[in-house]
Amino acid sequence: MIRFASWYLLLLAPIVMLAAGLRKSGTCPGQTFTGPFDVSGLRGGRQRLLHLPPVLFWLGMIMLAIALARPQSGYERLPAAGEGVDMMITLDVSSSMDATDYYPSRLGAAREAALSFIEGRPNDRIGLVIYAGEPLILCPPTSDHHTLTALIRKAGLGHLPDLTAIGSGLATAARGLSYSRTPSRVIILISDGTDTSGMIDPITVARAIQTLHADSLRVYTVAMGDPLSAEAASGYGVDRETLATIASITGGRLFDVYSAADLQEVYQAIDSLEASTLPDEGLFVFRDQYRLFLLPGLIMILLSIVLRWGPWRVVGD
């Protein structure tokens, strides 16, 4: 990437050229010399070189104007530790997520909403945890969103024991953010069921997160599923009370979603609540490159002076 720190100084060369042209056109005619001049030695190549000094002079002026405008070359860098917002998407992949009350399914809708969210946070580090009967970190927080996107698309059912370990999934996500040095960290916990594994109590995990991280780590919980469905009536529906308590303890918020469109709105709300501190266009490091133009410009001007007042000078007396 190339930019000019003082781009307006690029106008210096054409302004000087215009001023010189106006001055020349307004000059009063002086005494005319009719010779005799000995131009026998200026025929051929040397005669053509008479036009070289002014060309070199103005090329040198242009180069100096470019140097004064401070041309800079830049390259994009990754966010350093402590910059931006680090996030972990924690996705339920138990068999109930295969339900088709969301289009195309609960899991499919959750994946598409997550992908849209990631696309809108190009400079933040985001990771992925999936959980069913046990948790699995598929991707730690990373700026490599291409790889993260591929892993989210591949996240499916049947890879883990078929229970719902909300507490373990939350604990694994928090552990995935334990090395983060950003002042703001976020876990997005998505579930459509009740903790049935009994491995770790989700409320206990939420209290531990609050004790260890205070306000620097917030958990936003997303409850999927209709509370009036037959699944909920049988006691296996989403445990909104537990999800609400987790969010409350950690300074986050519970989101109820009943459709794929609701999921998109949830991520938009989280996006506004956790605004990125990094510019959308990315982070760049710029280095001055004016020396590439300054030295050649000075050489051209010096050479034009030597040629003009050296052996090619025509003397009229």
The per-residue pLDDT for range 237-279, each reduced to its tens digit, is 788 999 999 999 999 999 999 888 899 899 989 988 887 655 5
Cβ atoms of residues 87 and 126 within 8 Å: yes
Residues near 305 by Cβ (< 8 Å), separated by ≥ 6?
53, 57
Cα end-to-end span (Å), the chain: 55
Structure tokens at 1: 């990437």
Sheet hosting strand 126-131, strand order edge to edge: 135-142, 126-131, 86-92, 185-191, 217-224, 253-257
By percentage, how much of the chain surpasses pLDDT 90? 36
The average confidence (pLDDT) of the chain is: 81
Q: Which domains does the chain have, with CATH numbers?
A: 51-69+286-317 (no CATH), 86-273 (3.40.50.410)
26-48: average pLDDT: 53
Q: Give the model confidence (pLDDT) of 189-242 as tens digits.
A: 999 988 988 789 999 999 999 999 988 999 999 999 876 655 554 555 788 999
pTM for this entry: 0.64
Per-residue confidence (pLDDT) for residue 38, from 0 to 100: 54
135-141: average pLDDT: 94
119-125: average pLDDT: 85
Q: How confident is the model at residue 52 (pLDDT cuts 50, 70, 90)?
A: confident
Structure tokens at 210: 């609050």
